[in-house]
Amino acid sequence: MAPVDELLQAQLQLARWTVAARRLVIFTGAGISTESGIPDFRGPQGVWTQLDPRQFDFQAYLADPELRRQRWQVYRDGGLGANAQPNAAHFAVAELVQLGLVDCVITQNVDGLHARAGVPEDRLLEIHGSNRFAKCLSCWKRYPREETLRWESDPAAGVPLCPACGGLMKSGGVSFGEPMPPDETREAIRRARAADLFLVIGSSLVVYPAAALPGYAVERGARLVIVNLSPTPLDHLAALVVRAKAGEFLPGVVAAVKQLRGAA
């Protein structure tokens, strides 16, 4: 954790860059949601220390009705972080969006907390999908999670079937081996390449292809800022690296932004 004076200087520096930016893109990973009680994946108490990653394999889901039943029950129960609420970092990101300073928020998270904090749909790209929805694996129609939880599972399929085409349903989050949403992925790459300030919050930047996005931004001349408790492979490309909890750091950035805009 950085000393207080360093954090204050970093907050002010990021606020200045934010106010001056033409296209600020914010990219978030699991680390922004740990303060909401949702464990990250690779940390000492991360998800993969408690669960077998093979349970989240897409091909296994397609092949095994019993696994589908298990995964759908987890989905019914709300999954990891069922009772999680947005934290100060989510609200700070949403406030920057509402101030008109953010081109878009790109997130690896499927928890839906950015949307619940107030980031509008047209500014949010959930590139690993979202558990706010369930999707049909045949026609790709999406349904709100609350609606699908009222449906009965088909005994043979192990999950509800799509009312539109009869296809298998699955939670909206992307599993291992499952293609990323193509439209969202293409748009995320386009936005990254158009950014002049790219802010990473709470991502280890090791999961590809999502982790390539900061590199695309830097290649096109964007300034890179990384807020993460642990080192990332792209720290050497960053103009500013902050070792702090996002929920403690970002509200100070928002306050500094408001001060700067008020003095302008």
Domain ranges of the chain: 1-38+86-128+180-264, 42-80+129-173
What single DSSP character describes residue 168? B
Q: Please give the torsion angle defined by the CA atoms of residues 218, 219, 220 and 225, in that order, rounded to the nearest 10 degrees.
A: 0
Structure confidence at residue 40 (pLDDT): 63
Structure confidence at residue 51 (pLDDT): 55
What 3-state class would DSSP assign to 143? strand
Residue-wise pLDDT for 124-183, tens only, equals 999 999 988 999 999 999 999 889 989 989 999 989 999 999 999 998 989 888 888 889
Q: How far apart are CA 107 and CA 203, in angstroms?
A: 9
Residue with tokens 């009965």: 152
Residue 84 and residue 37 in contact, taking contact as beta carbons nearer than 8 Å? yes
Domain 42-80+129-173: assigned CATH number: 3.30.1600.10
For CA atoms 175, 123, 164, 152, the dihedral sign is positive
H-helix segments, the chain: 4-20, 58-63, 65-76, 88-98, 113-117, 145-148, 182-194, 213-219, 246-263
Active-site residue identified among 90, 114, 128, 236: 128
Q: Which CATH number fits domain 1-38+86-128+180-264: 3.30.750.24, 3.40.50.1220, 3.40.50.300, 3.40.50.150?
A: 3.40.50.1220
Which residue would you say has higher pLDDT here, 13 or 52? 13
Q: How far apart are CA 24 and CA 130, in angstroms?
A: 23
Residue-wise pLDDT for 179-204, tens only, equals 888 899 999 999 999 999 999 999 99
Q: How far apart are CA 168 and CA 158, in angstroms?
A: 9
Residue with tokens 């990473």: 200
Structure tokens at 158: 């192990």
Structure confidence at residue 33 (pLDDT): 95
Residue-wise pLDDT for 199-218, tens only, equals 999 999 998 888 999 999 99
For CA atoms 151, 156, 161, 163, the dihedral sign is negative
Q: What angle do CA 10, 16, 22 make, to 5 degrees?
A: 130
Which residue would you say has higher pLDDT here, 47 or 3? 3
Q: Do the bridges between strand 124-126 and strand 104-107 make them parallel or antiparallel, or are there none, so unpaired?
A: parallel
Residue-wise pLDDT for 84-119, tens only, equals 899 999 999 999 999 999 999 999 999 999 999 999
- Number of helical (H) and strand (E) elements in the chain, helices listed first: 9, 9
90 in active site: no
1-38+86-128+180-264 and 42-80+129-173 agree in CATH topology: no
Non-local (6+) Cβ contacts of 235 within 8 A are: 226, 241
**Does the pLDDT of residue 4 top 80, yes or no?**
no
Structure confidence at residue 81 (pLDDT): 58
Residue-wise pLDDT for 111-125, tens only, equals 999 999 999 999 999
Lay out the sheet containing 169-173: strands in order across: 142-144, 129-136, 169-173
Q: Is the peptide bond before 209 cis (omega within 30 degrees of 0)?
A: yes
Residue-wise pLDDT for 36-80, tens only, equals 998 765 555 544 445 566 667 899 999 999 999 988 888 887 665
* Phi, psi torsion values for 192, nearest 5 degrees: -60, -45
Beta bridge partners of 126: 107
